[in-house]
Structure 1
Amino acid sequence: MSRFLPSPALQSAQRSLRLAAHRAGAVWLGLLALGMGLGVLVTSNGLPWWLAPILSGAIYAGSVEFLLVGMVVASAPLSAIALTTLLVNARHVFYGLSFPLQQVRGWGRKLYSIYGLTDEAYVLIANLPQQAQTSRQIMGIQLGLHLSWVSGSVLGALAGQAWLSDLAGLDFVLTALFIVLAIDAYRTRPDKTIALAALGAGGAAAVLAGDAMLLVAMAAFVVFCLARYAVAVAQKKERNAP
């Protein structure tokens, strides 16, 4: 009878999967829904449905994929796509400083964990108790997020191709996503100076930069943040000077 019982290793893996689902299940469902929005956006712009799982599976960068749909439709140059991706996802560099990658066993798993380090993955894993930051927990959470995102994009693309291609308002999905992200970021850290600088950079770029509005706005905002940081460091040195 014992030969029909799962091995201790399998039992441990199942337990880790249940814990990962308990801790991240709600976020998995959220990514499934958001991925459906990406899939619908892909087909509503006249692109083939199979491009949705390629974008969501290979690039796996959240908001950048929504941007790429518009850039692909507009035949944007690769240089603009690369720079946009770099600017939008530059924040991930800072995630790596405190992400518990040392807990992930095996180089293959480590490489995937780096690849799968998204905003949601960082928040979920960084907030785990230290004893729960195991290799299986980290990989389970990240794989669940990735699979939810890809599955949602496929469902959305097929549904969009069949029924939703003419649904009004789909072109507002990206704008709505960034509005929600901006509000959430401001609630987390209510910095009026940063918020006004972002609005100012966006408004000025919209008036002056035309089709290059996005790149110019992000570049101007980055320059402002660097200048602000330099001023803050200089002021701190002056205060600490004898």
Structure 2
Amino acid sequence: MDSHLASAGRSPGWRRQEVAAGIRASLPAGLGMFPLGIAFGLLVVQSGLPGWVAPALSIFGYAGSLELLLIGLMTAGTPLPTIALTTLLVNFRHVFYAFSFPLKAVRNPFAKAYSVYALTDEAYAVTAARPETWTSWSLLTTQISFQTYWVGGGLVGVAIASLIPFRIEGLEFALCALFVTLVLDACRSLAEVPSLLLAAVSFVAAIVLVPEQALFAAMVIFLALLAVRFVVARRRGSIA
């Protein structure tokens, strides 16, 4: 990440420089989000849902992985309590993101509310390596850029789906591919390696103990291990 993300000197045009820095910071993950958004738009239409569902979910329920999951739940007629529990489990990881996300750089209350709302996996992965270098303008620009890539990709996907007469299989795998990329990017910081190892331990334990519900069990185990790691790190003074 460029060190000039933190505007120390307030030189002429500093806002423009921070906005440009935020856009540049968003490009690597954003270029992955856009085609994933296209896959999401295609999936919405090919699942039999109206095209407006794609932008509606992406604007009012902005959470890429959950949105893809919701499409399957909606088309399967899943009861609302099950959807609510699934949403809680899938998005509960954001609680841990908040511990190191540079939200304190944003002071305007409305801008801060948006930054909390737009705290996605991509935003966290981009800021995780050097959270102290971000300013309000660069952070918000990056988050707005990410949502623009996602919403724009979804609209393109809806348009493409309306033009092709056949179904495209395997669209759901695009999410897995993006998560792999984000994990590799975030783990460039040695501080995040323990979380990666805990995730691996959680998955192996779930496969061994409850193979029928491995994904659910792995998420629960991983959340517990992350909580333990946070408590240990706080006692050692690693986290304020």
Give the TM-score normalised by structure 2.
0.75
| Inter-partner Cα distance in structure 2 for 1:160 and 1:41 | 8
1:158 counterpart = 2:159: yes
Q: 1:225 to 1:31 in 2, by over 3 A?
A: closer
Question: Secondary structure of 1:46's match?
Answer: coil
Aligned residue in 1 for 2:81: 79
Q: 1:231 and 1:127, CA in 2 relative to 1: closer, same or farther beyond 3 A?
A: closer
Q: How far apart, CA to CA, are the structure 2 residues paired with 1:80 and 1:119?
A: 23
For residues 39-118 of structure 1, what are the structure 2 equivalents within 5 Å? 39-118=41-120
Instruction: Choose which of 203, 212, 233 in structure 1 pairs with 2:211.
Output: 203
1:147 equivalent to 2:145? Answer no
The aligned residue for residue 7 of structure 2 is none
Distance 1:54 1:60 in 2: 9
Native 8 Å contact 2:66 2:87 kept in 1: yes
* One-letter amino acid matched to 2:117: Y
Q: Following TM superposition, by how much is the alpha carbon of 1:48 offset from its aligned partner in structure 2, in angstroms?
A: 1.0
Give the Cα separation in 2 of the matches to 1:182 and 1:133.
24
Q: Which deviates more, 26-35 or 107-116? A: 26-35
Which residue type is aligned with residue 207 of structure 2? L
Alignment partners' CA distance in 1, 2:74 and 2:209: 24
Q: Contact 2:37–2:151 (CA<8 Å) still a contact in 1?
A: yes
Structure 2: how far apart are the matches of 1:15 and 1:176? 33
Instruction: Check conservation: 1:44, 1:161, Cα contact below 8 A.
Output: no
Which residue in 1 is equivalent to 2:201? 193
Question: Which one has the largest radius of gyration?
Answer: 1
The reply to whether residue 168 of structure 1 matches residue 173 of structure 2 is: no
In 1, the alpha carbon distance for the partners of 2:29 and 2:226 equals 33
Q: Distance in 1 between matches of 2:128 and 2:224?
A: 30
Query: Structure 1: which 5+ runs fail to align?
Result: 1-7, 207-216, 233-242
User: TM-score, normalization: structure 1?
Assistant: 0.74
Aligned pairs for 1:231-242 within 5 A:
none
Give the Cα separation in 2 of the matches to 1:133 and 1:231.
Answer: 28
Q: Does 1:221 align with 2:229?
A: no
For residues 30 and 159 of structure 1, do their structure 2 counterparts lie closer, same or farther at Cα, with a shift above 3 Å needed?
same
Report how many residues are paired: 210
Counterpart-to-counterpart distance in 2, 1:28 and 1:182: 14
Conservation of the 8 A alpha-carbon contact between 1:201 and 1:221? no
